[in-house]
Amino acid sequence: MGDGVKIRLGALSPIRVWSSRVMRALQVVALVALLYALAAPPPILVTLGPQRIVHTTNPKIGVHTRVTDEVDEWKIKKNFEMVREMGASWVVEYFPWEYIENEEGTFDWSHADLVVNHARRQGLTVIARLGFVPRWARPKDSVTSYLDEARYPAFAHFVTEFARHFEGRVQHIIIWNEPNLNFEWGYRGVDPASYTRMLQAVYPRVKAAVPTAQILAGALAPTLAPPGTPDAMNDLDYLQAMYAAGAREYFDALAIHAYGWTAPADEPPAPRRINFRRAELLREIMLQNGDASKHALITEGGWNDHPRWTKAVHPAERITYTLRAYDLCQAWDWLDACALWAFRYPFPAQSYLDYFTFVTPEFDPKPIYYEVQKYAVR
């Protein structure tokens, strides 16, 4: 057998040897090509799709979405599709400053563009909430809600660039979130005068660059914190203090957080009660300060149906109160939008917060979703 092989191989010509080498080289090339094909990004499967419009009987219905941390484009699109199909026209979305201007002066709009373009393609109006201070704009070891007054110009610059980049796509911009809470104000004592100075730094620059931009102030947390409490300041007192500090000329509309906790939507407002109609008390303060011409937008609010949380209601109550709240909003001529918290979380919060949502992280609609849909297309 060995001799046989020797005889056969011994007759191997140089051409056959070279052809064997060429074949081997071709195999290597084919393998590399295969690996490249496997490693290459897949073709784009998610597109913006055709322009849609929202069919609704109540054009003020809105929700706060949570797609900031959503990576997959199809999920972003699916979120907004479901919002539209529910009959909501408005979405509030968070655009963290640090995500966009991670290095001073360098802006990455890619994810924000993705979010805004998909929302608009579904016929939704986007209200942008801006905050989350990047590392470069705050002292070391400080929290992302800490912004020193010396850095207000940097924030104003970011907001201006945001307004300029999204001109014609995003008109409403909320400046900060719940500044009447200690932890939303960098764990410093809350300071309505300082927040007003933030508005004063932002407003003129944005309006000069994009006159059509609508600057929303406030977005105050409803709280009954007594005077002097280190953790928070009563939202009514805070708004009045903003006016006293000269905020009136530095915002176009008021953002309101209208949580109902355990009270029905219709419960009359009272300074010592947290309920949905507390929004009317904030409106009263606007009127008392000669700001009747300005409108307001509810950018957070609603009810929670966690079985154990002390501020929650039964699921049936949550649905009933929510629909009634949308009705109230429709009747308030000083209110443009009623965006409740929160449409869907990208992942479970594994706490009572999960019971604020309309849709599960897996996109399963909860009964409240269907009831709002039924209400909106009735």
Partner 1 sequence: MTDIRRQRRGDKGARQAHIGQRVARSGCWRVGSLPLAIVLLCACAWLAFVLWFPKPPPKPDATWLHILESGAFRVGLDPSFPPFESDDATGNLYGLDIALANELAREWSRANETPIHVEFVYSGFDGLYDALKAQQFDAIISALPYDPKKTEDVYFSHAYFNSGPHLIVRADDATTQTYYDLQGKAVGVELGSSGDAFARRWQRRLKLDLRTYHTPTDALRALRAGQVDAVFTDLIAFNDFAQSTGGVKQVGDALANEFLVIAVRKDSPTLLAQINTVIDAMKQDGRMERLYAEWLVK
Radius of gyration of the chain (CA): 28
* Length of the chain counted residue by residue: 378
Written as one string, the DSSP assignment of 192-223 is HHHHHHHHHHHHHHHHHH-TT-EEEEEEEPP-
Cα gap 206→336, rounded to integer Å:
21
Asked if 314 interacts with partner 1 (CB under 8 A), we say yes
The correct pick among 305, 326, 328, 341 for binding partner 1 (CB under 8 A) is 305
* CB nearer to partner 1: pick between 184 and 371: 371
* CB nearer to partner 1: pick between 293 and 310: 310
Binding range to partner 1, per CB under 8 A, among 246-254, 261-269, 279-287, 315-323: 315-323
Cα gap 266→279, rounded to integer Å:
12
The correct pick among 39, 307, 331, 362 for binding partner 1 (CB under 8 A) is 307
The correct pick among 244, 292, 348, 363 for binding partner 1 (CB under 8 A) is 348
Shortest distance, position 169 Cβ to partner 1, whole Å: 35
Written as one string, the DSSP assignment of 114-172 is HHHHHHHHTTPEEEEEEE---GGGS-TT--TT---GGGHHHHHHHHHHHHHHTTTT--E
Asked if 168 interacts with partner 1 (CB under 8 A), we say no
Q: Residue 274: which residues within 8 A CB-CB, separation 6 or more?
A: 222, 223, 224, 259, 261, 263
Cα gap 196→9, rounded to integer Å:
91
Asked if 371 interacts with partner 1 (CB under 8 A), we say yes
Cα gap 269→220, rounded to integer Å:
16
Shortest distance, position 264 Cβ to partner 1, whole Å: 12
Asked if 42 interacts with partner 1 (CB under 8 A), we say no
* CB nearer to partner 1: pick between 66 and 283: 66
Asked if 366 interacts with partner 1 (CB under 8 A), we say yes
Asked if 319 interacts with partner 1 (CB under 8 A), we say yes
Asked if 350 interacts with partner 1 (CB under 8 A), we say yes
Shortest distance, position 236 Cβ to partner 1, whole Å: 28
Residues at the contact surface with partner 1, assessed by CB under 8 A: 5-6, 8-10, 12-14, 17, 20, 305, 307-310, 314-320, 348, 350-352, 364-368, 370-371
